[in-house]
A and B are shown apart, each in its own frame.
Chain A
Amino acid sequence: YTVSQSTAVSKRQTEARGVAKVEEYTLPAYFDRRESPLPDIKFVQQLSPEQKSLKEKEKGSWAALSKEEKIALYRISFKESFAEMDKGTGEWKSVVAGIFFFIGFTGLVVLWQRKYVYGDVPHTFDPEYKQKEVQRMLDMRINPVDFFFPLLLLNDFGSLLPLKVMYHK
């Protein structure tokens, strides 16, 4: 029963087996966030020769840099400024437009259904039939209401009537 002193893989073994490819998602990523102003990496990773010389100039006095150079340095390190990252996208307009569009489309579908899918309503919905139905209900005294009359009554329009104008009982 032997105990190995170290679990580290020796250099020789590593070279024999090879090293796994570094996946891009495992590397630090750049992102513009309000709550994290300085991201892990600069935005521009491969610098052009002008950018490289600008970076060299940055090591000297910053007062010697022109305004454009300062902006260029900013843009090397960062993709969007705070103002740019915070501005709205206007996506809500597309969303509202989509809502209206689909409501309208649904309306068209409903109209088509009314015409081509549904049959006629029963004859009991005809106005003459309905009138006779109501008259019959009145004659039969359906659901008589017995209650203590309040001093003022509300009529159909929701306004108050004095006692002397009463509903036909």
Chain B
Amino acid sequence: MAGIIGRTMATAKLSNLNKFLVGSRVSASRTYSSAAKEMTVRDALNSALDEEMSADPKVFVMGEEVGEYQGAYKITKGLLDKYGPERVLDTPITEAGFTGIGVGAAYYGLKPIIEFMTFNFSMQAIDHIINSAAKSNYMSAGQISVPIVFRGPNGAAAGVGAQHSQCYAAWYGACPGLKVLAPYSSEDARGLLKAAIRDPDPVVFLENELLYGESFPVSAEALDSSFSLPIGKAKAKREGKDVTITAFSKMVGYALKAAEILDKEGISAEVINLRSIRPLDRPAINASVRKTNRLVTVEEGFPQHGVGAEICASVVEESFEYLDAPVERITGADVPMPYAANLERLAVPQIEDIVRAAK
């Protein structure tokens, strides 16, 4: 019995390691051979950080393992060598400490990028994110602006259990004073991170660990160092007329695959990549629903008070007459994330779930 568990755990660990190695090898070869065509999300983030740090000396990176270790997920690779230890700070293990310090630095005019190894650990610093960062501009009546970015992987990875898998989009998305972004593709990652760094308000930037190694085509425009995407605008990744599927982060990929399956069955789905959780692009979502008359929202997080709940409320309030059917929410299961691979698979939305809901 123990042997079997040992084996499954070993293979799970190995497959994670494999994924990482494959990802970095693939990214290395990709960036070498086809320079401007495809880019992994990891490289997109790394290049965005590099360019913004180069453009503005006030920008600096702080977090655990961001320097010497090149980043826990290698997002900050090469930055320590290039910018030195004064702009890439390795911190002791204290989220509350370095978040507080980052907020203090932002109060005084620097532009910190605080990395959480995962957003699960941001809960140890959430008082600083909400009470010290989000609310400060308002409470000080504009005297204290906090141009800070909190970034890191969010949501479920693979086989990391309950305390490493929660999605924080809904929690941070509820808070006035914060901007919350969730990129999907490499272009999203580059454009939104650049916009976040340049923005004078505090921004929570929710990445996804499993997307880091994925490669996406990038346009020449996106590769330009002045490129940025507007905050608060969603993007229709796929046009359709029968049903609208909204998603963000990893679920956009799933939604697109579901849309392909639906297409074969004669259902034309419009997939909307939200990109921005706060502010939510309500006009775009409503416009799409008014066109298709049906809505499915997809997210990895917990169902109660989730992002889908807010979208559903917005559509019901503003486009009620246009709905031909009740809104369907696809969310993670209402349980802490289990570890066992088979259970984990059941706790997170899968492509079949999206297809089923759309039908």
Tell me whether A and B are bound partners. Answer: no
